Amino acid sequence: MRVLLTAALVLSLTPGAPAGRDGLEWTVAAGPVAARIALDQGRLAFGVDGVLPAAPIGVRTTAADLTGGLSFVSRSDRTVRERYTMTTGKRLARDTTLRESTFSFTGDGGARLDLVVRVSAEGAAYRYVLPDAGPVTVTGETSSYAIPADAPAWLLPYSPNYEEPWTRTTAGAAPAGDYGFPALFRIGDTYAMLAESDVDGRYAGSRLTHAGGGTYAIELADPSVSATGPLSTPWRVAVVGDLATVTESTLTDDLAPPSKIKDTSWVRPGLVAWSWLSEHASPADPVRQRQYIYFAARNGWPYVLIDEGWNASWVPETVRYARARGVDVLLWLHWTALDTPQERETMLPLLKSWGVAGLKIDFMDSDSQERFRWYDEILPATAALRLMVNFHGATTPRGMQRTWPHVLTQEAVRGAEQFRTRAATNTIFPFTRNVTGGMDYTPVTWVVADRDTTDAHEVALSVVYESGWQHLADRFENYETRPEALRTLNQIPVVWDDTRLLSGEPGRSTVLARRSGDRWWVAGISATPAEDATAGLGFLPGGRWLAETLRDGDHGLVRESRIVRRGDTLTVPMAANGGFVTALCPYTGSATCDRPVVPVPATTLTVDPPAAEAQPGATVDVEATFTLPAGGPITDVRLAPAAGGTPVTAARLRGGESLSGSWRLTVPAGAIGDVDLPIVATYRWRGETVHVERAVRVFVPPPAPATDAWVSDLPFLGESNGYGPVERDRSNGEAAAGDGNPLTLRGTAHPKGLGMHAPAEVTVWLGAACTSFTALTGVDDEVTSSGSVTFEVLGDGRPLAATGVLRSTDPAHPLTADVTGVRRLTLRVTDAGDGKNFDHADWAAARVICG
């Protein structure tokens, strides 16, 4: 809810703000923060009293230079009260008051410029508004900040994925170059964190550029940005105050547009089991993914992320396996798989139909206006389908999680996946990157051998770092061999009702207190020699509290308990580069704060027939039985076809009871290949809805080839590829369809064939109408390093022919197979057992003789 209190128009200086001899000055104040705006000889400057000296600001367009020659016209003031609720973050319920002033100017050729300034107790921000209608092209800003040269600085050398190492320097000594947001400076006893908010496809992202001294200027990602006016640029934000004010600030969210999603009940933060970091090949292994799912179900983790390498042939059934156990599946995608309207309109509904709960979208790697326009397209498309999102290889948070609450987290950090963890860097993030929004660091990783952190430090990261999806990144066996760590992880929330910095200094230590419901969590990490960490407990309500602490001991992790009260001091011995986690709950006589982890009860769903063959538009009679073998009870049970049909229901099922139904299902018109007709049982368990699904697999045969045919001209019944899609009449290329080169083997280009990247396969329908298959096989000439593959031909699952290992230097290898009587022809490529790098495999002139 936004409450706007508009004050009378002010046409003069703010009372108490004296005019300089050569110009005008105004202040906009809220609590301890006062922004100062100056107009001197037609040029604007902005600063924050006592922290940031006034520095030049302004904007240039192709129509007017509004960095000078400005004349003051008017000022108006209002108070903006922001009350809103987040789905993620350091504080779910937000209530902030901002003082806003709009200063209107005229400049070059009578062009208008409004400067909008907002100030709260946490800091100050400004934006430009070009109020004229019609097209506008911005060619740059003179926006800048003046920082005392000797001010300590924590800076991130700029890269478009924000994954460079942070540096500790001073404002003046920092090397000339570009730095990413946010940037932190200590000016006397006050901190200033520079950031930006409300960036979308109307504009471009920006960065700080430093040429020398203490001046840091804003530089856009593009030479120019174009939009339709009126145009409001992003907010230039300075969070100022003591370190607690900066760390706890929500100013970048407060300045962002309100949520565009009315119903956020489907947005569900939580812990995620993720296998890619600890075992890169595992996302391609459905058996291994089911083991992670089983682990997540046993420990109450609501998600498993299946990263790069998954295959459409097994993901739907894996999703069904997970959902029946109360676990939802997240899938990784390269952003180019969703960079066109056609791809989004095809891929997103398909993933939703599989039951996928959310997406990790990767490798955007740009702050350009074009890329922000892509964000503008993917965000409403995913929200409409209720698909949650994690942006990896992405820009840093700029208020997006307020506007689009289904964005659970963003990477924009040099996280654990870099396989080099340093305690000193870890203690910088809470005061910089994580201030502005969810940070997908992927913590708690013992598999990272190159680290100087202790076990307790690793566990504490799951509290110290805020992320709506907390991807715990080690293999699950490593958690099971550390039962005290796993016990703590199973209890930790990922969203918070309150956050308070208790102590810390960037690069040395952090101790945070976070509240979820009636429980507090205090966690600390250090980059110092062994010492005691102390935390005042003045934030606790009255009464007695049980404090359970997990910390480093002499021989591994140890757990300690004590009774505390408000005002006590918690003292925890911390090892060098160590950490701790303390759970605090109202003391009721229990020896632990732990809440029981109760897995979803095992159920069964059978369908008859499990498989069938039919033509498009035909019907299939299906019977289904849903059973709770033991345990329960479960409530609000419903059994029905996913595509619609009269459900059968039961208010309650107890152990040993079943629910059955029968339906006549119709095969979709136009279907080809394997089509699933799912039957779904849902029920309520401990306040959550559990989804159990089984499908009748119906094979819909396409027309068999009537004459000889190129394989690349036949419809695919199924395909998988090691990178990007299988290409028709092109080499493998990159992630997008159709981006390959001509199929070329040893200098000869071939107009027809298939381009694959091992491991890969394609299945086509022959319908027993063909007699032979021929192709020239080999590694495409585009490969610059040695690749090695094998080619295999299968008929109805039976091996028919193979090449053995072929390498980049081998000549093209003719491959033939007798396919008499074969209904399904499968062409498969493997990586020859040495990994898939450079394995671009061509089936040149692949052809079947039919008729």
CB atoms inside a 10 Å sphere around CB 739: 15
DSSP 3-state assignment of 89?
coil
Tokens matching residue 677: 């007709």
Residue 299 has what DSSP assignment?
H
Tokens matching residue 104: 């209107």
Residue 774 has what DSSP assignment?
E
For the stretch 377-384, contacts whose Cβ atoms lie closer than 8 Å and that sit 24 or more positions apart, written own/partner, are 377/341, 377/344, 378/335, 378/338, 378/344, 379/260, 379/404, 379/406, 379/407, 380/260, 381/344, 381/348, 382/348, 382/406, 383/260, 383/261
Whether 545 contacts 538, CB under 8 Å: no
531-536 vs 604-608, strand pairing mode: unpaired
Q: Which of 266, 326, 351, 306 is nearest to 471 (CA)?
A: 306
DSSP 3-state assignment of 108?
helix
CB atoms inside a 10 Å sphere around CB 352: 15
Q: Which of 780, 773, 778, 788 is nearest to 812 (CA)?
A: 778
Residue 3 has what DSSP assignment?
E
Residue 757 has what DSSP assignment?
E
Tokens matching residue 561: 């308990």
* E-strand stretches of 242-340: 270-274, 303-306, 328-334
Burial pattern 700-732, b for ≥16 Cβ within 10 A else e, equals: bebebbeeebbbbebebbebbbbbbbbbbbbbb
Instruction: Give residue 29's Cα distance to chain centre.
Output: 36
Whether 124 contacts 29, CB under 8 Å: no
Tokens matching residue 237: 């934000």
Exactly one of 82, 222, 254, 362 is catalytic; name it.
Answer: 362
Question: Roughly how many angstroms between the first and final C-alpha of the chain, as a whole number?
Answer: 70
Tokens matching residue 438: 């969810």
Whether 494 contacts 467, CB under 8 Å: yes
Q: Is 621 one of the catalytic residues?
A: no
H or E element at residue 74:
strand 71-85
Whether 174 contacts 205, CB under 8 Å: no
- Could you give the CA distance from residue 535 to residue 416 in angstroms, rounded to a whole number? 27
Residues 6+ apart with CB under 8 A from 589: none
Exactly one of 248, 254, 417, 729 is catalytic; name it.
Answer: 417
CA 584, 586, 592, 595 torsion: positive or negative? negative
Structural Rg of the chain based on CA atoms = 30
Q: Which of 631, 639, 683, 632 is nearest to 659 (CA)?
A: 639
Q: Is 362 one of the catalytic residues?
A: yes
Q: Give the 3-state secondary structure of 395-456.
A: CCCCCHHHHCCCEEEECCCCCHHHCCECHHHHCCHHHCHHHCCCECCCCCCCCCCCECCCHH
Which positions are catalytic?
362, 417
